[in-house]
Amino acid sequence: MSQGLVWYVSYGSNMHRDRLACYLQGGRPPGAFVTYPGARNSAPPLAEMGIELPGSIYFAGSSTVWGGGGMAFYDHHVPGPTPAKAYLITAQQFADVADQEMNRPPSSDNPLETLACELPVGSAHSVGPGGYETLLVLDRADSIPMVTFTAPHGSDAVTHTIPGEPYLTMLRLGVEEVISVSTVGSVSTLNSVAATPRPAAAQV
131-173 pLDDT tens trace: 899 999 999 998 999 999 999 999 999 999 999 999 999 999 9
Instruction: State the pLDDT confidence band at 179, using cuts at 50, 70 and 90.
Output: confident
For residue 91, how far is the Cα from the chain centroid? 13
pLDDT at 182: 62
Instruction: Give the DSSP H/E element, type plus range, for residue 169.
Output: helix 165-181
pLDDT tops 50 at residue 29:
yes
The mean pLDDT of 40-57, rounded to a whole number, is 94
pTM: 0.87
* Closest to 101 (Cα-Cα) out of 39, 18, 193, 189: 39
Cβ within 8 Å of residue 172, ≥6 positions away: none
